[in-house]
Amino acid sequence: MTRSLTTVESRLRKQKPDSGQIPFGRTFTDHMFVMDYEESKGWHEPRIVPYEPLTLDPAAMIFHYGQTVFEGLKAYRTDDGRVLLFRPEKNFERLNLSSERLSIPPIDEEEVMDYLKKLIDLERDWVPEFEGTSLYIRPFIIATEPSLAVAPSKMYKFMIILSPVGPYFSGGIRPVTINVEEEFTRAVKGGTGMAKTAGNYSSGYQAQEKASKEGNADVLWLDGVEKRYIEEVGSMNIFFKIDGEIVTPALSGSILRGITRTSILELLKEWGWTVNERRISIEELYQYYEEGKLEEAFGAGTAAVISPVGEFNWLGKKMVVNNHEIGPVAQKLYDTVTGIQRGRKEDDYGWTVEI
């Protein structure tokens, strides 16, 4: 069901970035999508309007109790000028899962998909064409009721904003160094780790700064209970190639169910790899490393698609993986996923949606 969508076109058009060197998430397009929720009306008044500031009461609940969820996906430009989304239905499915955990009313996934397509269609010229660039899509819901009572909001705003972004790493993929975080905790069983909600991100800044000071690009989080089991990297799920097999942490309730993660699991299985989704501790990983069995490591997420890990730092010990070089599995996954996303490879899986 699609309610009547109102579109108010912007009279002014901003200048579009003219190169592939666009800093992440600082430039926004001419329009955005907005829809409101009130208890008596449900989600209502879907509209595409000029990108403009929000006006909210200082008591709006988003400022006080963090009731909010978000998503991140991308629109890609193909060589022949078409615009493709990558499995966008998975993002709205996950948005509703996140909302359930945060006591936010669900959206109609099909309806919102229709609005997203209309928004991207209107902003089609904003999808950049340079190698590695894309149009980042940020759907999010915030609690807007002006009340300091610690209870679910009765009013929400759902929005989609769009930002042209450059390649995550300039010059294609290159292996990064990751710090294994022992002090801070990202998430714990019974918490909000599986949800894409604001509080999960700023809570990692201290660990991120510490890692960065010591020359690491990101943080590897361990489980919050035993501080042993590997969960995820900063903004990505993590994969290992150990003694010829693929290992990735099983979704424990505190790990984000990545859409790139799901996709590469499907690819790896189709390619005949033995894939183990299971608990793996940092001690176990280190043991494989010492035995020479840790053959590859890479993160998987929307931002970088595939990001090889060249080195892990763990309590003063170093694990250098594949001599700091990109491994063949990471390279093939990167080429395949980005190939499908940019229309260079046949999409045998029905993963792309053309706008």
Residue 54 contacts a copy of itself per CB under 8 A: yes
Among 133, 185, 307, 352, binds a copy of itself (CB under 8 A): 185
Cβ contact 313:180 at 8 Å: yes
Residue 29 contacts a copy of itself per CB under 8 A: no
Residue 127 and residue 87: Cα distance in Å, rounded? 17
Evaluate the CA torsion angle 42, 45, 47, 52 in order and state its sign.
Answer: negative
Q: For the range 76-80, what are the long-range contacts, defined as Cβ-Cβ under 8 Å and sequence gap of 24 or more?
A: 76/127, 76/134, 76/135, 76/341, 76/342, 76/343, 77/127, 77/128, 77/129, 77/133, 77/134, 77/342, 78/342, 78/343, 78/344, 79/342, 79/343, 79/344, 80/343
Which residue lies nearer to a copy of itself by CB, 20 or 146?
Answer: 146
User: In this chain, which stretch among 8-16, 170-178, 206-214, 281-289 interacts with a copy of itself, using CB under 8 A?
Assistant: 206-214
Closest approach of a copy of itself to the CB of residue 129, in Å: 21
Q: How are beta strands 42-50 and 237-242 bridged, if at all? A: unpaired
Cβ contact 241:296 at 8 Å: yes
Indicate the SS3 state at residue 221.
Answer: strand
Which residue lies nearer to a copy of itself by CB, 71 or 296?
Answer: 71
Among 91, 235, 237, 322, binds a copy of itself (CB under 8 A): 235
User: In this chain, which stretch among 84-92, 111-119, 171-179, 221-229 interacts with a copy of itself, using CB under 8 A?
Assistant: 221-229
Residue 154 and residue 147: Cα distance in Å, rounded? 10
**Size of interface with a copy of itself, in residues (CB under 8 A):** 69
Binding to a copy of itself, residues 116-175 (CB under 8 A): 136, 138, 140, 142-143, 146-152, 159, 161, 163
Among 28, 169, 273, 286, binds a copy of itself (CB under 8 A): 28
Query: Where along the sequence are the contacts to a copy of itself (CB under 8 A)?
Result: 23-26, 28, 32, 51, 53-60, 62-68, 70, 101-103, 136, 138, 140, 142-143, 146-152, 159, 161, 163, 183-192, 197-206, 208-209, 224-227, 234-235
